C-alpha cells in the first residue's frame, strides 16, 4: 500500500491506495505525473485511490531526483537502509478530471 503526496502546482493533497493499483509502485521517479479521474472517496484529508481512478502519465522532476539521490547517499553514510521511493516525501503532480 502506497501513500503519496500530490500537488497540482498550487494545492497539496495526500492519496493512498485503497485497492491495489498496478501502475503505482515503489520504483516510480519522484515527480511522476498521474491523472485522477472520476469519483474518488475522500476521508480525513486523504484521497482513497482505486485503479479505475488513476492514470499514470509518467515524467520526473530533476530537482526531486537530485534530492532523492542525496538522501540515499546520506542514509548509506550513517548506516541506514536505502530509502525507497515509496517512503520519500516527493511530490507527484496531478490533474483532476470530472
Q: How many domains does the chain have?
A: 1
Query: Does 67 map to a domain?
Result: yes
pLDDT of 59 > 50? The answer is: yes
Q: CA dist 36 to 8, 45, 53, 73, 88, Å?
A: 11, 16, 5, 33, 21
Distance from C-alpha of 89 to C-alpha of 33, rounded to nearest angstrom: 15
Prediction pTM value: 0.60
Instruction: List Cβ neighbours of 3 (8 Å cut-off, separation of 6 or more).
Output: 14, 15, 16, 17, 46
pLDDT digits (tens, 9 = 90+) for 16-49: 999 998 888 766 777 778 888 899 999 999 999 9
CATH number, domain with residue 54:
2.40.50.770
pLDDT digits (tens, 9 = 90+) for 84-98: 444 333 445 455 554
Query: Does 36 map to a domain?
Result: yes
Query: Does 91 map to a domain?
Result: no
Amino acid at each position: 500500500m502506497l501513500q503519496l503526496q500530490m500537488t497540482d502546482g498550487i494545492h497539496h493533497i495526500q492519496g493512498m491506495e485503497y485497492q491495489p493499483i498496478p501502475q503505482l509502485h515503489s520504483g516510480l521517479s519522484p515527480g511522476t505525473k498521474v491523472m485522477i479521474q472520476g469519483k474518488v472517496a475522500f476521508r480525513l484529508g486523504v484521497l482513497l485511490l482505486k485503479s479505475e481512478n488513476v492514470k499514470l502519465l509518467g515524467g520526473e522532476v530533476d530537482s526531486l531526483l537530485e534530492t532523492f539521490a542525496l538522501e540515499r547517499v546520506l542514509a548509506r553514510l550513517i548506516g541506514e537502509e536505502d530509502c525507497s521511493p515509496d517512503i520519500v516525501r516527493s511530490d507527484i503532480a496531478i490533474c483532476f478530471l470530472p
